[in-house]
Chains A and B, each alone.
Chain A
Amino acid sequence: MKPSLNTYLDTVQLLKSYQGTHEANRTFALQHPELASKPQQMLLTWVSKYRFEITEPLNSKSYTQHFQAITQLSAFLFFVLGFLTGFGLLSYSGEAPVNVIYYLFIAMLLPIIGMILSIVSLLGDKNIGNFFAHFFPLYWLEKILQTLSPKYRTTLRTHVALPYTLQRWLFVERLQMLSLLFSVGLLIALLVMVVVKDIAFGWSTTLDVAPASFQSLLSTVGWIWHAWLPSAVPSIELVELSQYFRLGERLDSTMIANANRLGAWWQFLAMTTLLYAIGLRLLFWCVTRLGLQKALDRAFLHIDGIERLQRHFQTPFVTTQAPQVETHLPLTQTNEEPTVPTEKRAYPHIFGWNWTTEEMLLIHDSRQIQGKQTHEAGGSHTFSEDEAIARLAQGLVLLYVKAWEPPTMDFVDFLELLIDNPKVERIQLYPLGTPAQAYRSDPNDVEVWRRKLQGFNPAKVEIIDAT
């Protein structure tokens, strides 16, 4: 499978609207391991799988339709033109013989020049190519069609979007095919004329050419078929016999006498047409077809998006994110704000949640607070130890907490023990900062504690803000 002009156009159109995700494309590549070493096949398979993603009318369809119509029309015109040219060249009025040099010019020299020009136009850059294009009738035919047909203009919009080399190869390849048809027309005209008419061939030139050298030229032309079709190479007698001079006005009598022998030329002319105008052209056409395919292959790999696609095929698809969205438990919130008193100087009971007694003494010093009894809670104590000391509490209770440590449910459990203790009148929660900060806490941290206390009885729990 090779990319055709259709696949090329479809791919351009497809990649404009759809390129697939890395994940999907990589999956596709992994599903086709047999194509791993054939990138072009992989791409073509991908394109045929996703072609349906093109929602707009296919460019390829309208383009190739018009392109084909024009090619067919041109093919017909070229064939007819070839036939008419042959017909014109071989029209023998009975006055002067048909000059084989004219015919050879059209059937041999012109095709060879044409092919050389084609090659030159392919080799050079855009400007050279465009310049040489002017030499080809096809160029002018297209120009005429452009002006005549509005439909063709639309097609042209697609056409000019093609990469330049591809355009060039399309043109040259088509040109070879059309020239071939022209030559076929020429050959048919020759054969038809030979059958229906008795043509006297002759040769004549202003240049000073001896029959012998002319004959050697002709045998060089015919050396290929000389071995197996010697009658299709004019002999020296025939060449001498058929030389005529235009200035002589009339056919000379020897020529008339040998008129039947002059017809022997036709085999040579037919073979020349067959070999040079048709055979060689056919060969060249095949070559340009190959060239066109190569240009298509190259252009295909350069379509916008192809490189990305290939990268998708080759690079592993990696994800690091969580596949699910984050879930949250329903929130229960009340909006009662605990009051914010300032600290008192003396308390009957002071509890340190996660503070050690040693640390609490330092706090007392630093904050000039006195406590009749200090108790450790949390920290390395067990829950049942906490239960026991919570029972000791009475009256106004001061509760130190580490402001920077978020309140855990463990703390809440302990706070509830204190609240549930009927002897406790009020609890003042005191979030403290680190010793290094002289126990001043960060307002954000205090805010966290304040929020945690929402929902507790504000008459019983207060928070001291020592930020």
Chain B
Amino acid sequence: MQPKLYPKFAVVGHPNKGKSSIVSSLALDDSVQIANTPGTTQVKRGFPLVVDGKTIYELFDTPGFQRARRILAWLQSQEPVTADKRADLVKSFITQHRDDPRFHDEIELLEPIIEGAGIIYVVDASKPYGAEYETEMEILRYTGQPSMAILNLIGDEDYREQWKRALGHYFRLVRTFNPMTATFQDHIALLESMAQLKEEWTEDIKTAIQVLTNLHQQKIDQTIDAIVTHIQKSLTYQEIQTIATDKATKVEESRAINRYQTHLIQQEKEVEKEIETIWNHRSIDKVENLLAFDNVGLFSKESASIFGLSQKELIVTGASAGALGGLGIDALAGGSSLLLGSLIGGVVGGVGAMLGFDNLYHIKLLGQQFGRRELTIGPMQNLNFPYVLLGRALYYASLLAKRSHALRNTLHLEHETFYTQQIIDSEMRKELEKLHTKLRKGEEVSEEMSEAYRQVIMKSFQALICS
């Protein structure tokens, strides 16, 4: 077999300096073990970027240096050789000590380098520099491989200037990169630095940048598709239930409403899962710290007030959607409760009723279709509901899209900071309302309308993930 020619990079350094975090964020892999315990990573692990089966480059996460001085001593105790042969010294160190448990970590980290990987040396620049790092850098220099350093800021202090002065002696490139907060642009910028390490790698890394950029756009597209489908499915969903007599009893009706709501909640869970999969956050822990995101959340009043439209917007939207009929604004202003929750609780405010809060859903009796009496709930009639759905989905998706794969903390859904109005202006709302109106009526939606809707959502999502 031919030797693999794609570029490889070994992320190395002292224990506990964020090597795994950097790899995890670059490889968009949230399965990497990251912990505040030195020696978390014990075995090297490759993270290839593979496109249709072809590897473009590979990153290696490695354990940290443990006995750097012993190795340097060994290397220096050998017959001095010319610079071009120094890598062979490292190689023979590895072959001679392969079974020596004392050097397990060093061998794990040096192996990929000896096999041609470029070096990415990670330090924590929030802590002062020390001479002990020089031993490690000397060893790396023995390998003769192209190298760069990454300054990671784990703590609050900043010793970057000090570090740069020292690292400048060993590395041509020194970059700051914070794996916890790095954006997609930061990833690309780091890759661009890596491309400079070796001439032969430049093309491959450029390809990689292209691939990753496309992948990122694809994820955005998929997210938008998922959200649009979710909205359309939820708004048009009909719960059909067979009933015994010509008129549905209260029990039958409330059972049907219950099933209807459960279905929509389930549907929302599914789209959240889908979004998690799209963004590769598969082992995420969520804290649904407020009611707004728990089981009754979708239909809760918190949810309606955070993600839904304001009273004023609702009136405007309602008027344009023709839902208000001949009602005057005075009557509207006199009402009290605009909250969905009040409806669920059975209390219906005056304005609420006018705005359609009493009929969240169409409930209609289908007569004898196919010889059965049926009670149908849906499509969703509420004016606010589409915005609640949309706001929740966009908020969730933007959190995941921005989340670094190096984070292991639980995801806090702090929606207090989210306002649908901030990302959907009245112009956009007009566009959205066109489709909502169609869906409410259960009419077919043309492709152009779907596309226009998609564009609006795309725009607000882009704004969200850039903020």
Asked if A19 is at the interface (CB within 8 A of a chain B CB), the reply is no
Q: Which of A409, A410, A448, A451 has the most CB of B within 10 A?
A: A409
Are B45 and A324 in contact, CB atoms less than 8 angstroms apart?
A: yes
Are A404 and B155 in contact, CB atoms less than 8 angstroms apart?
A: yes
Partner among A326, A356, A404, A436 whose Cβ is within 8 Å of the Cβ of B45: A326
Are B130 and A354 in contact, CB atoms less than 8 angstroms apart?
A: yes
A402 to B155, CA, bound (A): 15
**A26: chain B residues within 8 A (beta carbon):** 52
If the complex has contacts A319-B48, A379-B132, are A405 and B14 also in contact, measured as CB distance less than 8 A?
Answer: yes
Asked if B255 is at the interface (CB within 8 A of a chain A CB), the reply is no
Partner among A157, A326, A382 whose Cβ is within 8 Å of the Cβ of B69: A382
- CB within 8 Å of A: which of B17-58? 26-29, 31-33, 36-39, 41-43, 45-53
Are A356 and B131 in contact, CB atoms less than 8 angstroms apart?
A: yes
If the complex has contacts A321-B28, A326-B45, A354-B132, are A405 and B51 also in contact, measured as CB distance less than 8 A?
Answer: no
Are A379 and B131 in contact, CB atoms less than 8 angstroms apart?
A: yes
A315 to B27, CA, bound (A): 19
A461 to B28, CA, bound (A): 43
Are A316 and B52 in contact, CB atoms less than 8 angstroms apart?
A: yes
Are B47 and A321 in contact, CB atoms less than 8 angstroms apart?
A: yes
Asked if A318 is at the interface (CB within 8 A of a chain B CB), the reply is yes
Asked if B66 is at the interface (CB within 8 A of a chain A CB), the reply is yes
Asked if A327 is at the interface (CB within 8 A of a chain B CB), the reply is yes
A152 to chain B, nearest CB (A): 11
Considering the complex, give the chain A residue whose CB is closest to the CB of B45. A322
B236 to chain A, nearest CB (A): 13
Are A448 and B32 in contact, CB atoms less than 8 angstroms apart?
A: no
Considering the complex, give the chain A residue whose CB is closest to the CB of B55. A319
A318 to B28, CA, bound (A): 12
**B68: chain A residues within 8 A (beta carbon):** 408, 410
Q: Give per-residue flags for A318-349: 1 if the beta carbon is below 8 A from chain B beta carbons, else 0.
A: 11111111111100000000000000000000
Are A406 and B15 in contact, CB atoms less than 8 angstroms apart?
A: yes
Are A354 and B45 in contact, CB atoms less than 8 angstroms apart?
A: no
Are B131 and A354 in contact, CB atoms less than 8 angstroms apart?
A: yes
Considering the complex, give the chain A residue whose CB is closest to the CB of B27. A320
Are B73 and A383 in contact, CB atoms less than 8 angstroms apart?
A: yes
Partner among B45, B73, B155 whose Cβ is within 8 Å of the Cβ of A382: B73
If the complex has contacts A327-B42, A329-B43, are A321 and B66 also in contact, measured as CB distance less than 8 A?
Answer: no
A382 to B69, CA, bound (A): 6
Partner among B47, B52, B127, B370 whose Cβ is within 8 Å of the Cβ of A434: B127
Are B211 and A318 in contact, CB atoms less than 8 angstroms apart?
A: yes
Asked if A413 is at the interface (CB within 8 A of a chain B CB), the reply is yes
Asked if B382 is at the interface (CB within 8 A of a chain A CB), the reply is no
Partner among A321, A328, A356 whose Cβ is within 8 Å of the Cβ of B31: A321
Asked if A378 is at the interface (CB within 8 A of a chain B CB), the reply is yes
- Size of the B side of the interface (Cβ < 8 Å), in residues, is 55
**B186: chain A residues within 8 A (beta carbon):** none
Partner among A30, A157, A444 whose Cβ is within 8 Å of the Cβ of B52: A30
Considering the complex, give the chain A residue whose CB is closest to the CB of B50. A319
A318 to B248, CA, bound (A): 53
Considering the complex, give the chain A residue whose CB is closest to the CB of B134. A380
- CB within 8 Å of B: which of A374-421? 378-380, 382-384, 402, 404-410, 413
**A409: chain B residues within 8 A (beta carbon):** 66-67, 102, 105
A406 to B64, CA, bound (A): 10
Are A327 and B155 in contact, CB atoms less than 8 angstroms apart?
A: no
If the complex has contacts A329-B43, A378-B132, are A322 and B28 also in contact, measured as CB distance less than 8 A?
Answer: no
**B53: chain A residues within 8 A (beta carbon):** 27, 317
Considering the complex, give the chain B residue whose CB is closest to the CB of A444. B36
A448 to B47, CA, bound (A): 28
A406 to B63, CA, bound (A): 13
Asked if B70 is at the interface (CB within 8 A of a chain A CB), the reply is yes
Considering the complex, give the chain A residue whose CB is closest to the CB of B102. A409
A325 to B45, CA, bound (A): 9
Interface residues on A, range: 35 or more
**B132: chain A residues within 8 A (beta carbon):** 354, 378-380, 405
If the complex has contacts A315-B218, A383-B73, A436-B157, are A322 and B134 also in contact, measured as CB distance less than 8 A?
Answer: no
A381 to chain B, nearest CB (A): 8
Are B65 and A408 in contact, CB atoms less than 8 angstroms apart?
A: yes
**A448: chain B residues within 8 A (beta carbon):** 16, 36-38
If the complex has contacts A378-B132, A379-B130, A382-B73, are A317 and B31 also in contact, measured as CB distance less than 8 A?
Answer: no
**A157: chain B residues within 8 A (beta carbon):** 370
Are A319 and B102 in contact, CB atoms less than 8 angstroms apart?
A: no
If the complex has contacts A378-B132, A404-B155, are A316 and B16 also in contact, measured as CB distance less than 8 A?
Answer: no
Q: Give per-residue flags for A344-380: 1 if the beta carbon is below 8 A from chain B beta carbons, else 0.
A: 0000000000101000000000000000000000111
If the complex has contacts A319-B48, A321-B31, are A406 and B43 also in contact, measured as CB distance less than 8 A?
Answer: no
B276 to chain A, nearest CB (A): 14
**A408: chain B residues within 8 A (beta carbon):** 14-15, 38, 64-68
Are B42 and A410 in contact, CB atoms less than 8 angstroms apart?
A: no
Are B69 and A383 in contact, CB atoms less than 8 angstroms apart?
A: yes
**B155: chain A residues within 8 A (beta carbon):** 404
Are A320 and B47 in contact, CB atoms less than 8 angstroms apart?
A: yes
Asked if B316 is at the interface (CB within 8 A of a chain A CB), the reply is no
Partner among B32, B49, B157 whose Cβ is within 8 Å of the Cβ of A318: B49
List 8 tightest A-B contacts by C-beta distance, closest first.
A406-B38, A409-B66, A321-B29, A380-B131, A379-B131, A406-B16, A320-B27, A406-B15
Q: 29 A-B contacts, Cβ less than 8 Å apart?
A: A316-B51, A318-B211, A319-B48, A320-B28, A320-B212, A321-B31, A321-B280, A322-B27, A322-B32, A322-B46, A323-B46, A326-B32, A326-B41, A326-B43, A328-B33, A329-B42, A329-B43, A379-B130, A379-B131, A380-B134, A382-B69, A384-B73, A402-B127, A406-B15, A408-B38, A408-B68, A409-B67, A434-B128, A448-B37
Q: A320-B29, A379-B131, A408-B38 are in contact. List 9 more A-B contacts (CB 8 A).
A: A318-B214, A321-B47, A327-B42, A328-B42, A329-B42, A406-B38, A410-B66, A410-B68, A435-B128
User: Which positions in B face A, CB cutoff 8 Å?
Assistant: 14-16, 26-29, 31-33, 36-39, 41-43, 45-53, 61, 64-70, 73, 102, 104-105, 124, 127-128, 130-132, 134-135, 155, 157, 211-212, 214-215, 218, 280, 370
User: Which positions in A face B, CB cutoff 8 Å?
Assistant: 26-27, 30, 153, 157, 315-329, 354, 356, 378-380, 382-384, 402, 404-410, 413, 434-436, 444, 448, 451
